[in-house]
Amino acid sequence: MIRRSLREWEKIAYGEDDATIAEADAARLVEASRRSSFAGRGGEGVLEHRRTHLRARGVVGVISVPGCQLEILPKIEAMDEADVADETLRRRLVHMLAIARDIRIDAQDAASLDWQRDTLLEILIRLFCRKMLVAVRQGIPRRYIAHEDYLPALRGSLDVTRQFSTLAAQPQRLACRYDELSADIALNQVMKAAISHLVRLSTSADNQRCLRELSFTYAGVTPVPPSALRWDRIVLDRTSGRWRELLSLARLLLGERYQMTSAGHSEGHALLFEMNTLFEEYIARLLQRALAGTAFRATTQGGHRDCLYEDGTGRFRTRPDILIRDGNGIAMVLDTKWKRMTPRIDDPKQGVSQSDVYQLMAYSRIYECDRVMLLYPHHHGLPPELICRQYDIALAAGTDRLIVSTIDVSASHSSVAGALASLVSRFLPQTNVTAI
């Protein structure tokens, strides 16, 4: 298996050595990537297929075809890092996913993952296997399922209506209604589908062995294709709460939200994550923790107010990334941007898009909010201190403010949450937010 890794927005040339990729393999990888929902209208939303090279875009993850695997990693750099190892980027990406999806990774889990040699896909599969083994040792969940059947002896209760209509001419059989404790429930069907899917994807001997062991546990569960899984029928209560993390991992690996696992006419698959969406969910989750216990709360993808009206009918509905609410009002609108700001010496605007500024100004008007913020990831090319710059909107001495800030996502989650708490407290002084 040929494995190649590159960073988002970087390129890899065609060739036959360890630093390049064969042009035939590149073509098959591009074909697999074009089946992703992130491919876009031109099919180059994941990989740009050029005459001399492939270029990654703002989508990260793993694309595999027979004999070749391409891993795209995000540029999650600390303030003082000019060059960072691939294993460090994998670790940071997995921990961002864990925060965004409420998946706990303790020290024992982290130590069991081979960050240096495994790709992102194998690391996530290994984490899934480890948590599954712990969970199944306590037994897989079972529930009572209602059955109706025609039996030679009474079981449960007699369905009188069916007995004297359907079975009127067959008195030797009884129309029974009964409940049976069964493992063939929606949650177990999801787990079996995830195990069956990952067996076909994993190339690690350890992961394959673990997945085969798990498949025996679910031998009595009905196989259901991923597209037909009934996620809406899954109910987690106090007896099955330990499966919550595994359910989140299964959603990731089967493809349910901001990434896509796909297969088509040609062999190949892709496990991809859009960094814009992941960054937004990561920040939102930590901000929710930081605001817990205050009068404020953070909500995602809310608002849904229209910016234009035609004969009383709303047009062009808006959907800000994060709203910070104060009771029934909105105290701040926050938009996250997974873009690299430039040093001020190169560009007075520091790479902040004019369209992004216009968007936030519109949010300020539509949501009647005097504080709006653009939040970017910090990186080593910027000054060591986090950027936090505010501008008056529309008027030189106006009261409405647009804040442009950065956050160091390479830091520990508690540090990121603390930085977000300080940032919010600075512009919403009544929050009384403390770092966590």
- Residue (of 43, 44, 40) closest to 55 by Cα position: 44
Q: Which two tokens stand for residue 243?
A: 């499966």
Q: What is the pLDDT of residue 430?
A: 60
Q: How far apart are CA 177 and CA 156, in angstroms?
A: 6
Q: What is the pLDDT of residue 407?
A: 93
Q: How far apart are CA 348 and CA 368, in angstroms?
A: 29
Residue appearing with tokens 């529309």: 394
Q: How many CA atoms lie within 13 A of 340 on its CB side?
A: 16
DSSP reduced 3-state for 168: coil
Q: Which residues lie across from 298 on neighbouring strands?
A: 324
Q: For residue 71, what is the enclosing H or E element?
A: strand 68-73
- Give the strand pairing for 59-65 and 313-317: unpaired
CB-based contacts of 190, cutoff 8 Å, min separation 6: 229, 231, 234, 247, 250, 254
- Residue (of 92, 75, 77, 85) closest to 116 by Cα position: 85
Does residue 68 contact residue 31 with C-beta atoms inside 8 Å?
Answer: no
Residue 219 phi, psi dihedral angles, 5° rounding: -60, -30
Q: How far apart are CA 195 and CA 203, in angstroms?
A: 14
CA–centroid distance for 243 within its chain: 18
116 DSSP assignment: T
Q: How far apart are CA 230 and CA 43, in angstroms?
A: 30
Task: Show the CA angle centred on residue 321, arms to residues 431 and 254, nearest 5°.
Answer: 120
Q: How many CA atoms lie within 13 A of 435 on its CB side?
A: 11
Q: In tens digits, what is the pLDDT along the chain, a chain of 436 residues?
A: 889 999 999 999 999 998 899 999 999 999 988 888 888 877 888 999 999 999 999 899 999 888 899 999 998 887 777 788 889 999 999 999 999 988 888 887 788 888 888 889 999 999 999 999 999 998 888 888 888 888 898 888 888 888 888 888 888 888 898 888 888 899 999 999 999 999 988 889 999 999 999 999 999 899 998 888 888 888 888 777 788 989 999 988 887 543 344 444 446 788 898 999 999 999 999 999 988 888 888 888 777 888 888 888 888 888 899 999 887 788 899 999 999 888 876 677 777 888 999 999 998 889 888 899 999 999 888 888 888 888 888 877 778 889 999 999 998 888 999 999 888 888 876 644 444 4
Q: Which two tokens stand for residue 428?
A: 């919403």
CA–centroid distance for 407 within its chain: 19
pLDDT, tens only, 244-275: 989 999 988 887 543 344 444 446 788 898 99
Helix, strand, coil shares of the chain, percent, nearest 5, are 35, 25, 40
pTM value is: 0.85
- Phi-psi region for residue 167, left (φ > 0), alpha (ψ -120 to 50) or beta? alpha
Q: What is the pLDDT of residue 262?
A: 43
Q: For residue 29, what is the enclosing H or E element?
A: helix 23-33
